[in-house]
A = this chain, B = another copy of it.
Amino acid sequence: MASKATDGKSPAPRDVGTKRPVGRPRRVIDLDQVADVAAQLYARHGYDAVSIESVAERLGVSRATLYRTIRSMDELHTVLFERSARNVELEAHALLERHKDSREALIALITFQIEASIRMREYVGVYFGWGLPADAFERWRQWATEYERLWSTAVERAAADGHLKVDDPMVATRLILGMVNWVSRWYRAEGPCTSESIAAEAIRLVLPKA
């Protein structure tokens, strides 16, 4: 990758165009906005709808202007990954804070993760670390490990309270994460299932004392 699209876990608005002509407004590209627009395009129009051009158009900037911040699809995917990962982690933390009961906490995590898998299904590859440039992939691996740890804490607590039978909490966590992440592979918007009905089925399976 020629240049990094983000310089850490918290992408900040980037000042573009240092040689600004007199009278021309300084354009600041907000990376959160870029990620939002890319996510919307993926979600609404599918994988092929997303390009630097289509994102620029939605942002109301020229391709050249966006290109000064986002130079390639690799960089766009990196921005999307950083933002998706941060949001998923923040939301999961908030859920664990909110639900003190271990069973309720795990139910909330499963429900949230299925909703996220469905919402992000068109760019879920990015969220799973596929197709990221090497440096972003390394950050993804660290993030995924941290995120699994957060989940395994919730699984361990629910198991300690007798809500599910677990021998190795990390293996059980990965099995449950597989179950919910895989939804992104088979969910169809036109099908009879909703995020809620799928979550209810998953909870019935792994926490059957509903």
A interface residue numbers (CB < 8 A to B)? 128, 164-168, 171-172, 174-183, 185-186, 193, 197-198, 200-202, 204-206, 208, 210
Copies in the complex: 2
A179 vs B176: C-alpha distance when bound (angstroms): 6
**Beta-carbon contact of B171 and A182 below 8 Å:** no
Given contacts A178-B181, A178-B183, contact A166 B206 (CB under 8 A): no
Of chain B, the residue at the smallest CB distance from A210 is B165
Which residues from chain B contact A179 at a C-beta distance below 8 Å? Answer: 175-176, 178-179, 182
Which residues from chain B contact A175 at a C-beta distance below 8 Å? Answer: 179-180, 182-183, 198, 201-202, 205
Given contacts A201-B166, A208-B164, contact A185 B178 (CB under 8 A): yes
**Beta-carbon contact of A205 and B208 below 8 Å:** no
Can you list 13 A-B contacts with CB-CB less than 8 angstroms, sorted by A residue number?
Answer: A164-B208, A165-B204, A165-B208, A168-B197, A171-B198, A174-B186, A175-B183, A175-B201, A175-B205, A176-B179, A178-B179, A178-B185, A182-B182
**Beta-carbon contact of B182 and A177 below 8 Å:** yes
Of chain B, the residue at the smallest CB distance from A177 is B182
In the assembled complex, how far is the CB of residue A63 from the closest CB belonging to chain B, in whole angstroms? 30
**Beta-carbon contact of B193 and A171 below 8 Å:** yes
Which residues from chain B contact A176 at a C-beta distance below 8 Å? Answer: 179, 205
**Beta-carbon contact of B164 and A201 below 8 Å:** no
**Beta-carbon contact of A167 and B201 below 8 Å:** yes
